[in-house]
Amino acid sequence: MVLPTYADTVLSLTSEESEATCDEDVDVNVIDKGSPRIDFTKRLPAELRTLVFCWLDFRSILICRRVCQGWKDAAEMSTVWRHQFRLRRRWAVKPDTPSDIDWRMMFKTRYLLDRRWDHGECVYAYNLDGHEESVYCVQFDDEKIITGSRDRSIRVWDTTTGKQILALNATSSALEDNPIAHSGSVLCLQYDDKLMLTGSSDETVIIWELPAYRAVRQLHDHKGGILDLSFNDRYIATCSKDGMLIIRDRREEGFPLRHIVVACNGSVNSVHIRRSFIATAGVDGIVKVWNADSGKLLMSLHGHSRGLACVTLSTDARTIISGGNDNTIRVWDTKKQNCLFEFAGHESLVRTLHVFGRKVLSGSYDQTLKVWDLDYRKKVLDLQKYHGNWIFSAKMDSKRIVSTSFGAKPVVLDFTRELDQDYVRYISM
């Protein structure tokens, strides 16, 4: 489905704009009533002239384009727009961005993308068709989307086309030479450039080598379904219905066991690791933070009135965000060990949370997705019409949201459709 297109008119370079009103070869022009107009910038050295335009705000630069041909040429210089792009604190490009890229078009593309997020408009929504039952977990990047399902399969999709690339399950041809597979629902997953881990209701975790998608080991650490897992370049953390948090060392061959911790008197529903901090959330409604090196409890954060379903740490590990059955999202300070504020707005259990930059994406059993701003402490986007059942997992980047639910078809919300993909491809996540 394609939503009504938001009028992408800002930074438009069409004939609707006024063309040059003065000649580049003269310094003084006459407009209404004989008033002289002098282009003082022509008398400046070229480098200084460029610097003047660099330090204007971008709306003023657009106005300057309409003054005369000389100002139009200066205002369209790639150097000017590169400076404008870099002034935006949250904007970045990928390392492989060409040095000679048109920065005016790069600025325009990113600006329009941000405006679409602000208004929740110009979204192209489509489904990933392939799973046979509920889809519990998802992760994606610019090239691929990986999902896990109650149908016991892990599926890999092309992010751009939405087409299925690979299916990993007990009967998959990819597993013929190495028949390690889950015998239960795939409840959680995570991957990086080298590894993928999947956890299942069959009480096991499978470690896969990427990019070959070769299952190399199956872990039997828990005595209950694996509800969540998380890893970084140092540790692997898993949690389960058995109430245990188990920490393994990723740096050593065989991923040796480091710590077994009783994290909750009941199910531990969520775990997330950043640096040496591991946050857990369980049915007791308490957010707990553990030291990955020692396995010791660092803090317990009380405030939720009911059991928790999800927890995540910010990139710098200074903030924890948690959600659960009291329908609220709480934001915690790890240094002061207190609740900074809470987000309210969901009408049922908050099932999933994902932090991207200073934004938080939440998905709920109320069938809605919401985006919250940690700096402004408010909801900035409310997406209500894309799911008809409980939402289980959702992830976001600067370009799209991918979410899964009780239904068999994950939903992709693409905010980049109809933007120039030659520039979208270089926008950093």
pLDDT, tens digit (0-9, with 9 covering 90-100), for 12-25: 433 333 333 333 33
Per-position b or e across 192-202, b if 16+ CB within 10 A of its CB: eeebbbbbbbb
How many Cβ atoms sit within 10 Å of the Cβ of residue 258? 17
What are 125-173's pLDDT values in tens digits? Answer: 999 999 999 999 999 999 999 999 999 999 999 998 999 999 998 555 5
Q: What is the pLDDT of residue 36?
A: 62
More confident position, 160 or 267 = 267
Q: What is the pLDDT of residue 392?
A: 97
Q: Read off the DSSP letter of residue 427.
A: B
Distances (CA, A) of 63 to 22, 55, 68, 108: 15, 14, 10, 15
Segment 295-302 long-range contacts (CB within 8 Å, at least 24 positions apart): 295/247, 295/258, 295/259, 295/260, 295/261, 297/261, 299/334, 299/337, 301/332, 301/337, 301/338, 301/339
Q: Read off the DSSP letter of residue 68.
A: -
Q: What is the pLDDT of residue 70?
A: 87
How many Cβ atoms sit within 10 Å of the Cβ of residue 107? 25
Give the H or E element holding residue 272.
strand 268-274
Beta bridge partners of 401: 396, 413
Q: Would you say residue 10 has pLDDT above 60?
A: no
Q: Which residue is listed with tokens 């999202």?
A: 329
Using pLDDT thresholds of 50, 70 and 90, give the confidence band for residue 429.
Answer: low
Gap between the Cα atoms of 276 and 32, Å rounded? 69
C-beta of residue 363 within 8 angstroms of C-beta of residue 135: no
Q: Would you say residue 1 has pLDDT above 60?
A: no
What are 360-381's pLDDT values in tens digits? Answer: 999 999 999 999 999 999 999 9
Q: Read off the DSSP letter of residue 129.
A: -
What are 85-129's pLDDT values in tens digits? Answer: 999 988 999 999 998 999 999 999 999 999 998 887 767 899 999
